[in-house]
Structure 1
Amino acid sequence: MDKPVIVAVDDDPEVIDAVARDLRLGYGEHYQIVRAGSGQAALEAAHQLRLQNRPVALFLVDQRMPQMSGIEFLEQAIALFPEAKRVLLTAYADTDVAIRAINKVRLDYYLLKPWHPPELSFYPVLDDLLEAWQAAWRASFKGIRLIDNRWSPQGHQLRDFMARNHIPYKWLDVASGGEADVLLSSLDAAASQLPVLIFEDGSTLCRPTIAQIADKVGLVTHSTTPFYDLLIVGGGPAGLAAAVYGASEGLKSAIIEHEAPGGQAGTTSRIENYLGFPSGVSGAELSRRALTQARRFGAEIILTQRAVGTRVEGPYKFVTLSDGSQVSCHALVVASGVAYRKLDAPGVERLTGAGVYYGAAITEAVCCANQDLYVVGASNSAGQAAMFLCKYARKVVIVCRGASLSAGVSRYLIDEIDETPNVSVLPHTMVASVDGQGHLSEITLRDVNSGALEVVPAGALFVCIGAEPCTEWLSNVVERDDYGFVVTGRALLTDGKRPTGWPLARDPFLLETSVPGIFAAGDVRAGSIKRVAAAVGEGSTTVHLVHQYLATL
């Protein structure tokens, strides 16, 4: 842990040398001593320490300095470090000034020059002040600080990315002032355009992209080799399972994931019917464990890259990534999952990220305290989102077109919803429109039977209305059904005949697509069971089939 800082300021070189020497001798073991030869230089150092989130325990400042007096420096410095103790170095003639400064800058003490020997009049004073500071001090947060306003769509995207990728960060809302204002005051105008990220070393990124953050924190965003035995597109439960089993069995394996490991399951607040977790497990925790396991066996996880195309040349498969690069492989597993279907209602696109969110949007939950929230959907993901959000909200209303949730929600989850007093279900209802100035403030609901409209105030709307497969990058390569899901195994046979263009003297394997060596697993596969356990099972099964396929090459 970084040492707390003592800042010493004096324009006289002999005096600052003596001050720094005595401070190092008395406190160097537990504090870092920062010296400055002018008030302006000290102020610049203080701004940098604030950006680095370093605690300042004490300012020891000479009063008589040109351009900026000690009191003038302290007036600005205490805005950056209001908890720091303040000591003024004065000559005998300046004692009246020092006394007045007690009220003006809440001066803790003034010391007369000369102070030697320090054991008599220097150390005893500072010992008391530093002891008092230590008693009240709490270690500051270590990680990225994100400054933005709550209703910023880009800020929401950044918070979601960092949370899902387990990057420690602290969000500072500019509307609340305080630390956000102090940090922004330490930046120049060009670097203070929101959202702003401040890293532990004091460096900043203004209006950053996801890729910039990933590179800055050391995530892998490019492949280390152009060829793999097994390439997996999608880092959800199916993709992670394939990576764990593939890498553990000696295949050079890599996952391409454009958002965060875990897929849609990674955004689920609690999965209660997954085998081996009787108390349930969050999607984020499950994905974190699987990711650690995959990396332990040597699988690469390539983030922020999207598969945008694929082609086949003989036994080799080539995948084009969103940065224009290509990676190739012997065997390809399509585990790209599904994306939430967009809610088609006036105002939704304009307010997405500013009160309208897709999925549970766990990062927004705390901001929704004591508000009325709405969840649209009739699936397990909608039910799980409601049960998570109700811990913060005044009430949560699940809006569904059908008569009840029974068709798409597990029985245990329906029972929990029924037993929770601040969660209710609004059947036979759809969202007609949403509205608000800069952020969501109201929703117009329509009764699907009568057509009657009702306008209700809302703090946020969470959309979980089904999903569409992420398979555009496979267009004209493998067979897909009318909805875009990848067809595999026996479903490819028509009257017992293999698919057109199938080159081998065997039928496609269970999870194999219409192209030998390309497999599909999880929600992206036509006819799959949309459950985490099923996706994990399919992902691990593909590796067994990959070995069978590779044995024939």
Structure 2
Amino acid sequence: MDKPVIMTVDDDPGVSRSVARDLRRRYGQSYRIIRAETAAQGIESVRELRLRGDDVAAILADYRMPQMNGVEFLEQAMDLYPYARRVLLTAYADTDAAIQAINVVDLDHYLLKPWDPPEEKFYPVLDAQLDAWQRTDRRETDELRVVGARWSARSYKIRDFLARNQVPYRWVLADSPEGSELLAAAGEACTIGPAKLPLVITAGGAKLTAPGTAELAEAVGLSTAPATDFYDLIVIGGGPGGLGAAVYGASEGLRTVMVEQHASGGQAGQSSRIENYLGFPDGVSGSQLADRARRQALKFGAELLTARKVTSLEVKGQAKVVGFADGGSIAGHTVILATGVSYRRLNAPGLDDFIGSGCYYGAAMTEASECRDREVYIVGAANSAGQSAVHLSGYASRVHLVVRGDGLERTMSHYLIEQISQLPNIEVHTGTEVVGGEGDGHLERITLKGPDGERTVDAEWLFVFIGAEPFTDWLGDTVERDGRGFILTGPDLTSGESRPRNWPLRRDPYHLETNVPGVFAAGDVRADSIKRVASAVGEGAMAVALVHRYLEQA
């Protein structure tokens, strides 16, 4: 098989030769290095490579090129090689243009010229990009196929589960010629109906009819069964806080298991791009961040269980017993509750009928490509809503951001407000709420209530990012919570001389410890926590340090 290609395009012959020389010195044994000295020559080379069936791993393009700048070049090249890593070569004066390109062409990185010595400033960047490319599934036809109906909430749930768990699949409409053939081959041609869709056909040829998440997880190779029945640390929830706890717990020698009902990453894992997380100057998607953290936890020996719903927590002596919805259970010395929060439902008549069929709570990344050249509506004014608006603006003809308040400044980061203001197809509607939805089989119209009264608009796509609910009722009376359901920890449990309910120890609870010794909380589910990815990861790490302190004194 031919070597994959690294392409560099720069109109300065000296710089072009220098870049190619540095690339060959480091990557020449594993990659074929191709250089072009004009954008037109580069596009022609990319087309020839595509026709020959060659694979392109990375494309490095200079920003300042005549006729076609580097951003425009990358935008055309990615139509031919969507999986190639895109790197912009730029001078310091063009840094703003490079940052804007992150949103225009989903730029993976930009490099400031010059980068001497390359061992410090060039090769580490390319190493990371090539590693990411090698881990990307680039098969033209994925082996796992999902056959379903376009506006089926059940089909959406399956696709969302697969996408968030980094499982590649191919989506096939049931009423398409290919869909009909697959249904006939599966023996469902005459009997298939809405209740039996979607049909999932695995790589091994197994056919699953409208599978539940646990059945699907097992079929695609996700871990669902614990390896043992007792652990040092049980982490409940796989968002940033839970992943942080799993990484630090396992890396410090604790026998650690993380239990997640849906997919690693939580709400943050659905984000199209997080640009204010430390160490990622070019931004990182929530799914990429979650995947890296998941692999990191596995590397250290943590056990990750998916599609297992936790329904109870009991204290039996020194052991904490975690019960599952299917009747099974595991026990451990300590527990970290990192279940995060979920978006609140819109209190608008009719919308509940269209959840998963036009109305989506969260980013719903699987739906982005379906929104091409359509108008979409987004409800919310926090970072998650802003990130989704910026991302969907690259697909939709117009994005309507519906904001109940009088502006974005109090709830959204400044960098996102700036990006939104510079995108001409995003329109912000302040002082406005969604008060109704209607349609036939899927969402078709919504009713907006604004400063000028109510109006009904055509809308097939509505994404909701409002508020946060912790959904901690399953804890019963075991763990103390505030009036909204958020878990109380540390100083919040004590008032003056009073002690936490049923607290058996002489010491006060540690900072992240609940009213149950050895049970901690981290991230968004904790009362008065800072709702940011970085703080959730930090609390996950801090909780592990307190777990060690608890185990030493137990």
Aligned equivalents of 2:251, 2:161: Cα separation in 1: 28
| Counterpart residue type for residue 524 of structure 1 | V
Aligned equivalents of 1:241, 1:549: Cα separation in 2: 19
Any conservation in 1 of the 2:442–2:460 contact (CA below 8 Å)?
Answer: no
Matched, 1:186 2:189: no
Residue number in structure 2 paired with 1:459 = 460
Residue number in structure 1 paired with 2:553 = 552
Matched, 1:540 2:541: yes
| Counterpart residue type for residue 229 of structure 1 | D
Residue number in structure 1 paired with 2:370 = 367
Any conservation in 2 of the 1:191–1:205 contact (CA below 8 Å)?
Answer: no
Matched, 1:163 2:163: yes
| Counterpart residue type for residue 362 of structure 2 | G
Aligned equivalents of 1:387, 1:150: Cα separation in 2: 25
Aligned equivalents of 2:317, 2:180: Cα separation in 1: 60
Aligned equivalents of 2:457, 2:516: Cα separation in 1: 51
Q: Which of 203, 207, 212 in structure 1 is aligned with 2:210? A: 207
| Counterpart residue type for residue 461 of structure 1 | L
| Counterpart residue type for residue 470 of structure 2 | P
Residue number in structure 2 paired with 1:70 = none
Listed as ranges, the matches of 1:98-117 within 5 Å are none
Residue number in structure 1 paired with 2:287 = 284
Residue number in structure 1 paired with 2:174 = 174
Q: Deviations over 1:409-445 (max 9, x none)?
A: 1111111111111111101111110111111111100
Any conservation in 2 of the 1:191–1:206 contact (CA below 8 Å)?
Answer: no
> What SS is found at the alignment partner of 1:431?
strand
Aligned equivalents of 1:219, 1:431: Cα separation in 2: 38
| Cα separation, partners in 2 of 1:455 and 1:186, compared to 1, 3 Å | same
The Cα of 1:495 is off from its aligned counterpart by 1.2
Aligned equivalents of 2:186, 2:320: Cα separation in 1: 48
Q: Which of 256, 261, 266 in structure 2 is aligned with 1:263? A: 266
Q: Deviations over 1:380-428 (max 9, x none)?
A: 1111111111111011111111001112111111111111111111011
Any conservation in 1 of the 2:472–2:486 contact (CA below 8 Å)?
Answer: yes
Aligned equivalents of 1:367, 1:142: Cα separation in 2: 19
Q: Which of 222, 225, 229 in structure 1 is aligned with 2:225? A: 222
The Cα of 1:377 is off from its aligned counterpart by 0.9
Aligned equivalents of 2:475, 2:139: Cα separation in 1: 51
Any conservation in 1 of the 2:379–2:402 contact (CA below 8 Å)?
Answer: yes
Aligned equivalents of 2:449, 2:202: Cα separation in 1: 46
Q: Which of 233, 241, 245 in structure 2 is aligned with 1:242? A: 245
Aligned equivalents of 1:203, 1:224: Cα separation in 2: 25
Q: Deviations over 1:191-225 (max 9, x none)?
A: 75421111222221111111111111121112121
Any conservation in 2 of the 1:368–1:459 contact (CA below 8 Å)?
Answer: no
The Cα of 1:375 is off from its aligned counterpart by 0.5
> What SS is found at the alignment partner of 2:399?
strand
Residue number in structure 1 paired with 2:318 = 315
Residue number in structure 1 paired with 2:496 = 495
Aligned equivalents of 2:501, 2:216: Cα separation in 1: 45
The Cα of 1:250 is off from its aligned counterpart by 0.8
Any conservation in 1 of the 2:154–2:197 contact (CA below 8 Å)?
Answer: no
Aligned equivalents of 2:523, 2:515: Cα separation in 1: 17
| Counterpart residue type for residue 541 of structure 1 | M
| Counterpart residue type for residue 162 of structure 1 | L
Q: Which of 418, 425, 429 in structure 2 is aligned with 1:422? A: 425
Q: Deviations over 1:468-525 (max 9, x none)?
A: 0031121201110110000111111101433232111111111111111010000000
Q: Deviations over 1:347-388 (max 9, x none)?
A: 111111110000010000111111110001111111111111
Residue number in structure 2 paired with 1:22 = none
Matched, 1:443 2:442: no
Residue number in structure 1 paired with 2:528 = 527
> What SS is found at the alignment partner of 2:267?
helix
Residue number in structure 2 paired with 1:149 = 149
Residue number in structure 2 paired with 1:474 = 475
Aligned equivalents of 2:174, 2:498: Cα separation in 1: 64
Aligned equivalents of 1:509, 1:264: Cα separation in 2: 27
Matched, 1:385 2:384: no
Unaligned runs of 5+ in 2: 2-137
Question: TM-score, normalised on structure 1?
Answer: 0.73
Any conservation in 2 of the 1:191–1:204 contact (CA below 8 Å)?
Answer: no
| Counterpart residue type for residue 400 of structure 1 | V
* Greater radius of gyration (CA): 1
Matched, 1:408 2:411: yes
The Cα of 1:142 is off from its aligned counterpart by 3.3
Residue number in structure 2 paired with 1:232 = 235
Residue number in structure 1 paired with 2:485 = 484
| Counterpart residue type for residue 532 of structure 2 | R
Residue number in structure 2 paired with 1:329 = 332
Question: TM-score, normalised on structure 2?
Answer: 0.73
Any conservation in 1 of the 2:202–2:220 contact (CA below 8 Å)?
Answer: no
| Counterpart residue type for residue 490 of structure 2 | G
Residue number in structure 2 paired with 1:506 = 507
| Counterpart residue type for residue 442 of structure 1 | R
State how many pairs are aligned: 414
Any conservation in 1 of the 2:202–2:219 contact (CA below 8 Å)?
Answer: no
Aligned equivalents of 1:361, 1:286: Cα separation in 2: 17
Tell which deviates more after alignment, 314-323 or 269-278. Answer: 314-323
| Counterpart residue type for residue 529 of structure 2 | S
Aligned equivalents of 1:513, 1:250: Cα separation in 2: 23
Unaligned runs of 5+ in 1: 2-137
| Counterpart residue type for residue 183 of structure 1 | L
Aligned equivalents of 1:474, 1:139: Cα separation in 2: 44
Q: Deviations over 1:35-73 (max 9, x none)?
A: xxxxxxxxxxxxxxxxxxxxxxxxxxxxxxxxxxxxxxx
The Cα of 1:539 is off from its aligned counterpart by 0.2
Aligned equivalents of 1:200, 1:224: Cα separation in 2: 25
The Cα of 1:180 is off from its aligned counterpart by 1.9
> What SS is found at the alignment partner of 2:280?
coil
Aligned equivalents of 2:205, 2:319: Cα separation in 1: 46
- Identity among equivalent positions (%) equals 49
> What SS is found at the alignment partner of 1:397?
strand
Any conservation in 2 of the 1:146–1:195 contact (CA below 8 Å)?
Answer: yes
> What SS is found at the alignment partner of 1:549?
helix
Any conservation in 2 of the 1:255–1:301 contact (CA below 8 Å)?
Answer: yes
Aligned equivalents of 1:199, 1:440: Cα separation in 2: 31
The Cα of 1:139 is off from its aligned counterpart by 7.5
Listed as ranges, the matches of 1:2-21 within 5 Å are none
Aligned equivalents of 2:454, 2:464: Cα separation in 1: 19
| Counterpart residue type for residue 426 of structure 2 | V
Q: Deviations over 1:233-266 (max 9, x none)?
A: 0000000110111011111000110000001111
Aligned equivalents of 2:496, 2:139: Cα separation in 1: 70
Residue number in structure 1 paired with 2:11 = none
The Cα of 1:182 is off from its aligned counterpart by 2.6
